[in-house]
Every structure is written in structure tokens, then in C-alpha cells.
Amino acid sequence: MKHTTMLVSAVLAGAALSAPALETRDSSQFDYKYEMLKLPTAEDVDENGQMDFGGGGSWLTLGTGVNAGSSYMTMSGGQYLKADAASVGATGDVWRVMAATAGEGGTGYTVEARLKVTESTGSIGAMLLNASTGDSSINSWLVFRTDALYWGNGTDRKIMDIDATDWHNYRIVREPGSLLHSVFVDGTLVADDLPNGISASVNRIIMGSTGGDYKGKAQVAYLRFSKGAYAPPSPNDKSRRKASTDFPVQYEMKSDDTRISTTGNTDDWKKGGSGATSEISGGILSVTTGGKSAYWDTQDAKWKNIVDADTPYTIEFRVKINKTTQSGADRAFNFMAGTYGPVGDLFVGTNSVQWCLNTSGTGTFLTLDASDNTDAMHSFRIAYSGGGRHAFTIWRDGVVIGENLVDCTNFYKLNKANALGIVRFGKGGGLNDGSWDLDYIRWDIGHVWDWKDPPKGFTMVIR
């Protein structure tokens, strides 16, 4: 497992940075979201009957396997995605709504992209992200290299040094009532009071390479934007943290708690499968599958009747893995949570934590962590930010091991008819097998909670 903190060694000269007084909003709640489960050139988010973006071709391809939910961009000049209100044809309407953000009385706008730059050979950089609203004095122009982030169409205005070959979230905020911009990286303000990036009297958003000075390769997880100026949630905001002991719904696996049992149906859970051994003793549910199925589905109305595709939630469980018995796979314990929309699915083994990717095949997995899960009980937290496909964050014992994970919905083919809301744990099929001890399950619907006291020095985990 590789941990890293964001490296910042050069920031624009001037006064100390001060975040503008903006409403905080996660990008999963933005009006326009392109999640790279299909190409933006095949998306019609505003449902006007036209594709939202022009561009594309062999230089823009969707990722597969462990890179599902992202796209690859290979740029050498003139390869870009563009929604341009000045264009004739299919593109333009999706960004034309942003025209009202122009001028000193405008609402401002916010653009966020999650990407990594794998190669930068152009004289200025690998690629750019530009948003303009028809007023040549207030255009943004963010430039990406493998080792640095720049502002404007040149290399004289460096924002920061950064290892951009890792995944990062980049946000541009056009501040309302001014002619200035702010830039956030991974939730942290890295530059403010930025002037015009480049003069361009056109209403457009463009991402990629507009000429030979921009040449390289990148991988993009999403592009999201919205009218209005929004700061990202701060990674250091203690008000966003909560211990699971304070969650409103808690199942503690107590022998005298009839909400969950090892046989038949109970008020809150339904047990499925047969042939495995299970018992509750000392506040622990112990299960040995022996190749048989043993799983529990929630019947709790607090989940099934409340959670929908736009509802954020945080759910935490604590488990110890004793043995994995499936041949060729280290996946003993399976935990699934979600709705008829986005579904998250986590697999815990003796020395692995894996996430099921959004595929229609028989299971493609992304390894998030390779720590020992047999030595003691370990706590895992799944947070869904609501309304987006790259919306899942995973913690293990207070450390983030997965961010902006794509849901597993395509694999499970869930829909409104058969899954209005689901929490399932155990072994429901052939993808996992073994023995494990479960301590608790706790959740809070409507909120995304960071770990109460995360270890110092860790801001993200590279997968």
C-alpha cells in the first residue's frame, strides 16, 4: 500500500492565501457530471437530444478492467473535448447556460476534474482545462504537466509543483461579483485572486490540447461543472468527522438482540443461504461458510424506504478474517450497500481489500489494500456522497484506501423492481468464501462522515 501527501513547493507570489467566503459543495452534487463510464461525446446530460461535447476519436478511449470508469487522452495538438456555444451543430447547449455567470454581477461557476498526467512533452504542458463565458476578461486557463500546475497560456505563472502522475482533484472557481479565480487541489486552496487566464470572447469549456505546445497523455476519471461558485469540502474540517458510535443506526451482534440472528427472518434482517455454520456469542457473529452460502439482507425500513440514488450515507462495519478458502482469490467477506442506482461492493480477505468494478462481466476487482486482516478486528467505512458514479470513499482503520470509486451497479444489474435499497453482508455467491467474525454494522443516512480521528500525515492513498 502506498501513501502520499500532496507536494506543494511553489505558490503564486503575493499575499497569504485566504479561501473566499463560498458555500461548500461536493462536485458529486454539480449540475453537469461526465463520469467517463461512457465518453462525454456520447452524453446528453441536459437531455436536449444533442450530444453535449464535440471532439473524440482514436485519441480519446474508455478505460477497461481496473481502469473502468476513466478515459485515456493522447494529445499532440488539436485533440480536445469542447462544448462551445459559438459552434454550429451538436455542442454548445450544455455550456451555454453558463453565460449568465459572466460579468461582475454574475453568479460565478465551478469546474472540477479528477485526472492524472502520465506524459508531458509539450513546450507548455500536456493539456489544459479552460472555461470562458463570453467575456474576454474573466477566462480560466489551467495547465497540467507531470510535475507542475500552471495558470494561463504559458509557463511564467506557476501555481504549484505537484506529482501530477498520481490522481488529484482539480477545481477552478470563478468567484461571483469579481474578475478573479481560485484553484483548489484535493480540497485545499492553492491559489486565489487569479486574473484572466487567456483572452477568448467565446462561451465554452474545453479540455485537452489546442495546439502543439500541449502534448502528452492523461487519464481522466470525471469532468463536472455547475453554475455558482463553490468551495470543496475541506480535508481538515473536523465538523465533517464522526465516530460510528454516534451513528443513529447500530447493530452490535449481541446474542439478546433479536434484530439479527443466525436463523430465519428477524425484524430488521433476513438471512439467506444454507449449509454454513454461524453463531452469535460474546457480541460477535462468527461464520464459517465451508463453500456454502450465508448472507444477511437488511429489512430495516430506515434504509430501504429512505435511501435512493441521490442520498448520501456512511456505513461502517468491523470484521476479522480467519480464513479464505476460495481457490485463487483472497475474498472471504463481502459487504454490499446501495440502491437501485449506485451500489458499492467491498470484499475483505486475509491480506486484501478489493472493490468490485462497474463491469457487466463476472467480476473485475480493484485491490485497495494489502494489509493483514487476520491479526485483529479491523473497521471499514464506506461513504457514498450521493448523485454521482465516482462517489464512494473507503477507509480501513481511519486511513483512506479508496477515493472517488466507481460504483458496481452494472455488475449487479440492480433496478427499481428488485432492489429499492440494499445492505448485504456475508457470502451470497461464488466470488468469496471463508470464515470471519463480525463485530458491528452502523450507519448514518444523509451524511458523509470522515473518520473521527484520522492518522496524521495521510491525505490520500494511491491505488
Bridge partners of residue 189, in order along the sequence: 184
pLDDT at 11: 44
Closest CA to 355 of 304, 261, 363: 363
Chain-centroid distance, C-alpha 410: 17
Grid coordinates representing 88 are: 454550429
Half-sphere exposure of 56 (CA within 13 A, CB side): 15
Neighbour count for residue 161 (Cβ, 10 Å):
15
Half-sphere exposure of 180 (CA within 13 A, CB side): 8
**pLDDT band at residue 411 using 50, 70 and 90 as cut-offs:** low
Q: What is the DSSP string of 247-263?
A: -SEEE---TT-TTS-SS
Q: What percent of the chain has pLDDT over 70?
A: 85
pLDDT at 65: 72
End-to-end CA distance of the chain: 8
Beta strands in 19-94 (DSSP E): 23-24, 32-34, 60-62, 71-75, 80-84
pLDDT at 431: 81
Q: What is the mean pLDDT of residues 258-270?
A: 84
Neighbour count for residue 213 (Cβ, 10 Å):
16
Segment among 115-129, 236-250, 362-376, 447-461 with least mean pLDDT: 447-461
Domain limits, the chain: 2-235, 240-462
Contact call for residues 365 and 355 (beta carbons, < 8 A): yes
pLDDT at 238: 74
Is pLDDT above 50 for 277? yes
pLDDT at 417: 44
Average pLDDT over all residues of the chain: 83
Distance between CA 272 and CA 260 in Å, rounded? 12
pLDDT at 338: 84
Q: What is the mean pLDDT of residues 259-280?
A: 87
Closest CA to 205 of 72, 53, 103, 100: 53
Q: What is the mean pLDDT of residues 65-71?
A: 81
Is pLDDT above 70 for 337? yes
**pLDDT band at residue 445 using 50, 70 and 90 as cut-offs:** very high
pLDDT in tens, 88-101: 444 556 777 666 56
pLDDT at 454: 45
pLDDT in tens, 306-331: 787 788 999 999 999 999 998 888 99
Q: What percent of the chain has pLDDT over 90?
A: 45
Closest CA to 27 of 233, 207, 190, 219: 233
Segment among 58-72, 87-101, 348-362 with least mean pLDDT: 87-101
Residues in the chain: 463
Domain 240-462 coded CATH 3.40.30.10: no
- Beta-sheet pairing, 230-231 with 23-24: parallel
Contact call for residues 182 and 194 (beta carbons, < 8 A): yes
Asked whether this chain's domains 2-235 and 240-462 adopt the same fold, the reply is: yes
Q: What is the mean pLDDT of residues 37-49?
A: 86
Closest CA to 353 of 379, 389, 384: 379
pLDDT in tens, 152-175: 988 889 999 999 999 999 999 988
pLDDT at 17: 66
Q: What is the DSSP string of 127-176?
A: EEEEEEES-TTS-EEEEE-SSEEEESSSSS-EEEE--TTS-EEEEEEE-T
pLDDT at 12: 43
Q: What is the mean pLDDT of residues 66-93?
A: 77
Q: What is the mean pLDDT of residues 236-254?
A: 89
Element (H, E) at 303: helix 301-304
- Between residues 8 and 304, the one the model is more confident about: 304
**pLDDT band at residue 19 using 50, 70 and 90 as cut-offs:** low
Is pLDDT above 80 for 251? yes
Distance between CA 385 and CA 401 in Å, rounded? 16
CATH tag, 2-235: 2.60.120.200
Distance between CA 82 and CA 129 in Å, rounded? 10
Grid coordinates representing 342 are: 449506485
pLDDT at 5: 34
**pLDDT band at residue 151 using 50, 70 and 90 as cut-offs:** very high
